Amino acid sequence: MEYTSLGRTGLQVSRLCLGTMNFGATTPEDECVAIMDRASHGGINFFDTANIYGRKLHVGASEEIIGRWFAAEPGRRDRTVLATKVYGSMSDVPNDGGLSARHIIAACEGSLRRLQTDWIDLYQMHHIPRATPWEEIWQAMDVLVAQGKIRYVGSSNFAGWHLGAAQEAANRRHSLGLVSEQCIYNLLVRHVELEVVPAAMAYGIGILPWAPLHGGLLGGAIRKLREGSAVRTKEGRAAKGMPANADTIEAYENLCAELGHSPADVALAWLLSRPGVTAPVLGPRSFEQLDASFASLHITLDPGVLARLDELFPPIGGGGPAPDAWTW
Protein backbone atom coordinates (compact mmCIF):
# COMPACT_ATOMS: atom_id res chain seq x y z
CA MET A 1 0.00 0.00 0.00
CA GLU A 2 1.09 3.55 -0.72
CA TYR A 3 0.43 6.40 1.70
CA THR A 4 0.25 10.15 1.25
CA SER A 5 -0.58 13.27 3.22
CA LEU A 6 -4.22 14.26 3.53
CA GLY A 7 -4.16 17.63 1.84
CA ARG A 8 -1.63 19.95 3.49
CA THR A 9 -1.72 18.08 6.80
CA GLY A 10 0.83 15.73 8.29
CA LEU A 11 -1.78 12.94 8.47
CA GLN A 12 -0.81 9.90 6.39
CA VAL A 13 -3.63 8.07 4.64
CA SER A 14 -3.71 5.16 2.18
CA ARG A 15 -4.06 5.97 -1.53
CA LEU A 16 -7.29 3.98 -1.51
CA CYS A 17 -10.11 4.90 0.87
CA LEU A 18 -12.75 2.37 1.92
CA GLY A 19 -16.20 3.87 1.42
CA THR A 20 -19.00 2.26 3.42
CA MET A 21 -22.19 3.64 1.88
CA ASN A 22 -23.35 0.08 1.14
CA PHE A 23 -22.86 -1.08 4.73
CA GLY A 24 -26.25 -1.81 6.23
CA ALA A 25 -27.97 -1.03 2.94
CA THR A 26 -27.00 -3.62 0.31
CA THR A 27 -24.19 -5.45 2.12
CA PRO A 28 -24.99 -7.63 5.16
CA GLU A 29 -22.91 -7.13 8.28
CA ASP A 30 -20.90 -10.35 8.04
CA GLU A 31 -19.65 -9.33 4.61
CA CYS A 32 -19.01 -5.79 5.84
CA VAL A 33 -16.73 -7.30 8.47
CA ALA A 34 -14.90 -9.34 5.80
CA ILE A 35 -14.48 -6.20 3.68
CA MET A 36 -13.06 -4.18 6.59
CA ASP A 37 -10.76 -7.04 7.56
CA ARG A 38 -9.42 -7.29 4.00
CA ALA A 39 -9.02 -3.51 3.72
CA SER A 40 -7.11 -3.32 6.98
CA HIS A 41 -4.90 -6.32 6.22
CA GLY A 42 -4.20 -4.86 2.75
CA GLY A 43 -2.96 -1.60 4.25
CA ILE A 44 -6.02 0.59 3.74
CA ASN A 45 -6.05 2.73 6.86
CA PHE A 46 -8.61 5.29 5.62
CA PHE A 47 -12.33 4.50 6.17
CA ASP A 48 -15.14 6.83 5.10
CA THR A 49 -18.76 6.78 6.21
CA ALA A 50 -21.62 9.20 6.98
CA ASN A 51 -24.20 9.49 9.71
CA ILE A 52 -27.04 8.87 7.22
CA TYR A 53 -25.53 5.78 5.54
CA GLY A 54 -27.46 2.57 5.99
CA ARG A 55 -30.78 4.38 5.73
CA LYS A 56 -32.47 1.36 4.09
CA LEU A 57 -31.95 -0.40 7.42
CA HIS A 58 -32.02 2.74 9.56
CA VAL A 59 -30.03 5.95 9.65
CA GLY A 60 -26.70 5.42 11.31
CA ALA A 61 -26.50 1.69 10.48
CA SER A 62 -23.18 2.05 8.62
CA GLU A 63 -21.55 3.81 11.57
CA GLU A 64 -22.91 1.17 13.95
CA ILE A 65 -21.40 -1.67 11.89
CA ILE A 66 -18.02 0.06 11.89
CA GLY A 67 -18.33 0.70 15.62
CA ARG A 68 -18.92 -2.98 16.34
CA TRP A 69 -15.92 -3.86 14.16
CA PHE A 70 -13.73 -1.49 16.18
CA ALA A 71 -15.02 -2.88 19.48
CA ALA A 72 -14.33 -6.49 18.45
CA GLU A 73 -10.56 -6.09 18.41
CA PRO A 74 -8.40 -3.68 20.42
CA GLY A 75 -6.09 -1.63 18.25
CA ARG A 76 -8.29 -1.45 15.17
CA ARG A 77 -9.42 2.09 15.96
CA ASP A 78 -5.87 3.33 16.52
CA ARG A 79 -4.78 1.94 13.15
CA THR A 80 -7.66 3.57 11.27
CA VAL A 81 -8.08 7.12 9.98
CA LEU A 82 -11.83 7.49 10.38
CA ALA A 83 -13.96 9.93 8.38
CA THR A 84 -17.67 10.55 8.71
CA LYS A 85 -20.10 13.28 7.63
CA VAL A 86 -22.74 15.64 8.94
CA TYR A 87 -25.58 17.42 7.12
CA GLY A 88 -28.33 14.98 6.16
CA SER A 89 -31.53 14.84 8.21
CA MET A 90 -31.44 12.12 10.84
CA SER A 91 -35.20 12.39 11.49
CA ASP A 92 -38.21 14.57 10.71
CA VAL A 93 -37.58 16.62 13.85
CA PRO A 94 -36.64 20.28 13.19
CA ASN A 95 -32.91 21.00 13.72
CA ASP A 96 -31.99 17.33 13.25
CA GLY A 97 -30.18 18.07 10.02
CA GLY A 98 -28.20 20.79 8.27
CA LEU A 99 -25.18 22.65 9.56
CA SER A 100 -26.38 24.74 12.46
CA ALA A 101 -23.97 24.80 15.39
CA ARG A 102 -26.58 22.91 17.39
CA HIS A 103 -26.84 20.10 14.86
CA ILE A 104 -23.11 19.87 14.11
CA ILE A 105 -22.31 19.28 17.78
CA ALA A 106 -25.30 16.99 18.44
CA ALA A 107 -24.60 14.97 15.28
CA CYS A 108 -20.95 14.56 16.25
CA GLU A 109 -21.98 13.15 19.63
CA GLY A 110 -24.33 10.72 17.89
CA SER A 111 -21.64 9.56 15.46
CA LEU A 112 -19.15 9.05 18.30
CA ARG A 113 -21.66 6.81 20.10
CA ARG A 114 -22.47 4.75 17.01
CA LEU A 115 -18.81 4.42 16.01
CA GLN A 116 -17.82 3.49 19.58
CA THR A 117 -14.88 5.89 19.52
CA ASP A 118 -13.73 8.97 21.38
CA TRP A 119 -12.71 10.91 18.28
CA ILE A 120 -13.33 11.34 14.56
CA ASP A 121 -10.26 12.00 12.43
CA LEU A 122 -12.02 13.75 9.54
CA TYR A 123 -15.44 15.38 10.09
CA GLN A 124 -16.91 16.31 6.71
CA MET A 125 -19.76 18.60 5.76
CA HIS A 126 -21.81 16.35 3.47
CA HIS A 127 -23.11 19.26 1.42
CA ILE A 128 -22.76 23.01 1.12
CA PRO A 129 -24.68 24.86 3.86
CA ARG A 130 -27.82 26.44 2.42
CA ALA A 131 -28.45 29.05 5.09
CA THR A 132 -25.92 28.77 7.92
CA PRO A 133 -23.18 31.44 8.00
CA TRP A 134 -19.58 30.24 7.95
CA GLU A 135 -18.88 31.96 11.26
CA GLU A 136 -21.41 29.69 12.97
CA ILE A 137 -20.11 26.56 11.29
CA TRP A 138 -16.47 27.25 12.15
CA GLN A 139 -17.37 28.16 15.72
CA ALA A 140 -18.96 24.73 16.16
CA MET A 141 -16.07 22.93 14.44
CA ASP A 142 -13.52 24.79 16.55
CA VAL A 143 -15.36 23.72 19.71
CA LEU A 144 -15.24 20.07 18.62
CA VAL A 145 -11.54 20.33 17.79
CA ALA A 146 -10.81 21.95 21.15
CA GLN A 147 -12.73 19.18 22.91
CA GLY A 148 -10.66 16.55 21.09
CA LYS A 149 -13.73 15.05 19.42
CA ILE A 150 -12.60 15.75 15.86
CA ARG A 151 -9.12 16.27 14.40
CA TYR A 152 -9.73 17.75 10.94
CA VAL A 153 -12.62 19.20 8.92
CA GLY A 154 -13.48 18.35 5.34
CA SER A 155 -16.17 19.13 2.81
CA SER A 156 -18.14 17.20 0.22
CA ASN A 157 -19.96 18.31 -2.92
CA PHE A 158 -18.65 21.90 -2.75
CA ALA A 159 -18.06 24.19 -5.71
CA GLY A 160 -14.69 25.85 -6.12
CA TRP A 161 -15.91 29.19 -4.81
CA HIS A 162 -17.45 27.41 -1.79
CA LEU A 163 -13.99 26.08 -0.92
CA GLY A 164 -12.60 29.59 -1.15
CA ALA A 165 -15.38 31.11 0.98
CA ALA A 166 -15.08 28.38 3.61
CA GLN A 167 -11.31 28.61 3.82
CA GLU A 168 -11.19 32.41 3.98
CA ALA A 169 -13.76 32.36 6.79
CA ALA A 170 -11.60 29.83 8.66
CA ASN A 171 -8.50 31.95 8.04
CA ARG A 172 -10.21 34.94 9.67
CA ARG A 173 -10.63 32.81 12.80
CA HIS A 174 -7.03 31.52 12.55
CA SER A 175 -8.44 28.00 12.17
CA LEU A 176 -6.91 25.29 9.99
CA GLY A 177 -10.09 25.11 7.93
CA LEU A 178 -10.74 22.50 5.26
CA VAL A 179 -8.21 19.76 4.57
CA SER A 180 -10.21 17.66 2.07
CA GLU A 181 -13.02 17.85 -0.47
CA GLN A 182 -14.97 14.72 -1.42
CA CYS A 183 -16.52 15.13 -4.85
CA ILE A 184 -17.77 13.07 -7.77
CA TYR A 185 -14.83 12.62 -10.14
CA ASN A 186 -14.14 9.94 -12.70
CA LEU A 187 -13.34 9.55 -16.40
CA LEU A 188 -16.95 10.31 -17.32
CA VAL A 189 -17.46 13.23 -14.92
CA ARG A 190 -14.59 15.71 -15.04
CA HIS A 191 -16.31 19.00 -14.16
CA VAL A 192 -14.25 19.41 -10.98
CA GLU A 193 -11.12 19.91 -13.10
CA LEU A 194 -12.39 23.37 -14.04
CA GLU A 195 -12.49 25.04 -10.62
CA VAL A 196 -12.83 22.59 -7.69
CA VAL A 197 -9.47 20.87 -8.18
CA PRO A 198 -7.54 24.12 -8.84
CA ALA A 199 -9.12 25.78 -5.79
CA ALA A 200 -8.40 22.74 -3.64
CA MET A 201 -4.77 22.61 -4.75
CA ALA A 202 -4.34 26.35 -4.12
CA TYR A 203 -5.59 25.94 -0.54
CA GLY A 204 -3.89 22.62 0.17
CA ILE A 205 -7.16 20.68 0.24
CA GLY A 206 -6.92 17.01 -0.76
CA ILE A 207 -9.40 15.64 -3.32
CA LEU A 208 -11.28 12.44 -2.41
CA PRO A 209 -13.17 11.31 -5.53
CA TRP A 210 -16.42 9.47 -4.92
CA ALA A 211 -18.11 7.29 -7.58
CA PRO A 212 -14.69 6.54 -9.13
CA LEU A 213 -16.30 3.85 -11.34
CA HIS A 214 -19.46 5.90 -11.95
CA GLY A 215 -21.70 3.32 -10.32
CA GLY A 216 -20.02 0.44 -12.14
CA LEU A 217 -20.19 1.93 -15.64
CA LEU A 218 -16.38 2.06 -15.76
CA GLY A 219 -16.01 -1.37 -14.22
CA GLY A 220 -16.52 -3.56 -17.29
CA ALA A 221 -20.22 -2.87 -17.73
CA ILE A 222 -20.51 -3.92 -21.39
CA ARG A 223 -18.83 -7.26 -20.77
CA LYS A 224 -20.91 -7.92 -17.67
CA LEU A 225 -24.14 -7.14 -19.52
CA ARG A 226 -23.19 -9.59 -22.25
CA GLU A 227 -22.32 -12.24 -19.69
CA GLY A 228 -25.49 -11.60 -17.71
CA SER A 229 -23.44 -10.88 -14.58
CA ALA A 230 -24.20 -7.16 -14.32
CA VAL A 231 -25.71 -5.96 -11.05
CA ARG A 232 -24.91 -2.29 -10.52
CA THR A 233 -25.00 -1.56 -14.26
CA LYS A 234 -28.74 -2.16 -14.30
CA GLU A 235 -29.52 0.54 -11.75
CA GLY A 236 -28.64 4.03 -10.57
CA ARG A 237 -25.92 6.15 -12.10
CA ALA A 238 -24.65 3.41 -14.41
CA ALA A 239 -28.07 2.66 -15.89
CA LYS A 240 -28.71 6.34 -16.55
CA GLY A 241 -25.32 6.83 -18.18
CA MET A 242 -25.20 3.73 -20.35
CA PRO A 243 -27.50 4.78 -23.26
CA ALA A 244 -25.50 7.92 -24.09
CA ASN A 245 -22.09 6.38 -23.45
CA ALA A 246 -22.34 2.78 -24.67
CA ASP A 247 -20.01 3.23 -27.66
CA THR A 248 -17.44 5.08 -25.57
CA ILE A 249 -17.56 2.48 -22.81
CA GLU A 250 -17.08 -0.33 -25.32
CA ALA A 251 -14.05 1.45 -26.83
CA TYR A 252 -12.72 1.97 -23.29
CA GLU A 253 -13.08 -1.71 -22.44
CA ASN A 254 -11.26 -2.61 -25.66
CA LEU A 255 -8.41 -0.27 -24.68
CA CYS A 256 -8.22 -1.86 -21.22
CA ALA A 257 -8.09 -5.32 -22.79
CA GLU A 258 -5.25 -4.12 -24.99
CA LEU A 259 -3.42 -2.91 -21.89
CA GLY A 260 -4.07 -6.18 -20.09
CA HIS A 261 -5.86 -4.58 -17.14
CA SER A 262 -9.45 -4.58 -15.97
CA PRO A 263 -11.53 -1.45 -16.71
CA ALA A 264 -12.04 -0.85 -12.99
CA ASP A 265 -8.30 -0.91 -12.33
CA VAL A 266 -7.56 1.49 -15.18
CA ALA A 267 -10.27 3.91 -13.97
CA LEU A 268 -8.76 3.91 -10.47
CA ALA A 269 -5.19 4.18 -11.77
CA TRP A 270 -6.24 7.20 -13.85
CA LEU A 271 -7.64 8.93 -10.76
CA LEU A 272 -4.51 8.11 -8.78
CA SER A 273 -2.50 9.87 -11.49
CA ARG A 274 -4.55 13.07 -11.37
CA PRO A 275 -3.15 16.24 -9.74
CA GLY A 276 -4.55 16.97 -6.30
CA VAL A 277 -6.11 13.54 -5.74
CA THR A 278 -5.38 12.03 -2.33
CA ALA A 279 -7.43 8.82 -2.51
CA PRO A 280 -10.42 7.57 -4.50
CA VAL A 281 -13.28 6.48 -2.25
CA LEU A 282 -14.12 2.88 -3.13
CA GLY A 283 -17.68 1.63 -2.70
CA PRO A 284 -17.40 -2.18 -2.73
CA ARG A 285 -20.52 -4.24 -2.28
CA SER A 286 -18.51 -7.40 -1.75
CA PHE A 287 -15.16 -8.72 -0.56
CA GLU A 288 -14.25 -9.67 -4.14
CA GLN A 289 -14.82 -6.15 -5.46
CA LEU A 290 -12.56 -4.68 -2.79
CA ASP A 291 -9.88 -7.32 -3.29
CA ALA A 292 -9.72 -6.58 -7.01
CA SER A 293 -9.14 -2.87 -6.37
CA PHE A 294 -5.63 -3.33 -4.97
CA ALA A 295 -4.25 -4.05 -8.46
CA SER A 296 -4.81 -0.40 -9.44
CA LEU A 297 -1.94 0.65 -7.18
CA HIS A 298 0.53 -1.16 -9.41
CA ILE A 299 -0.60 0.32 -12.73
CA THR A 300 1.30 3.22 -14.29
CA LEU A 301 -0.41 4.83 -17.27
CA ASP A 302 2.10 6.28 -19.70
CA PRO A 303 1.50 9.61 -21.52
CA GLY A 304 0.30 7.82 -24.63
CA VAL A 305 -2.39 5.93 -22.73
CA LEU A 306 -3.43 9.07 -20.85
CA ALA A 307 -3.82 10.85 -24.19
CA ARG A 308 -6.01 8.03 -25.52
CA LEU A 309 -8.17 8.24 -22.40
CA ASP A 310 -8.55 11.99 -22.97
CA GLU A 311 -9.72 11.23 -26.50
CA LEU A 312 -12.35 8.81 -25.21
CA PHE A 313 -13.36 10.96 -22.23
CA PRO A 314 -12.57 14.56 -23.23
CA PRO A 315 -12.07 17.10 -20.43
CA ILE A 316 -14.54 19.97 -20.29
CA GLY A 317 -13.88 22.63 -22.91
CA GLY A 318 -10.29 22.68 -24.06
CA GLY A 319 -9.05 21.03 -20.89
CA GLY A 320 -7.21 22.54 -17.97
CA PRO A 321 -8.58 24.81 -15.24
CA ALA A 322 -11.01 27.67 -15.80
CA PRO A 323 -10.81 30.01 -17.62
CA ASP A 324 -8.19 28.32 -19.84
CA ALA A 325 -10.72 25.62 -20.70
CA TRP A 326 -12.76 28.07 -22.76
CA THR A 327 -10.56 31.03 -23.53
CA TRP A 328 -7.09 31.79 -24.90
Spot the catalytic one: 53, 152, 185, 252: 53
Helix (H) or strand (E) holding 121: strand 120-125
Nearest to 314 by CA among 208, 191, 180, 218: 191
Residue 53 annotated among the catalytic residues of the structure: yes
Biggest alpha carbon distance in the chain?
58
Burial of 215 (0-12, 13-18, 19+ CB in 10 A): buried
Nearest to 280 by CA among 270, 289, 288: 270
Q: What residue spans of 127-272 are helical by DSSP H?
A: 134-146, 160-172, 196-203, 221-227, 236-259, 263-272
Instruction: Compute and round to an integer the Cα radius of gyration of the chain.
Output: 19
9: left (phi over 0), alpha (psi -120 to 50) or beta: beta
Query: Which residues are the active-site residues?
Result: 53
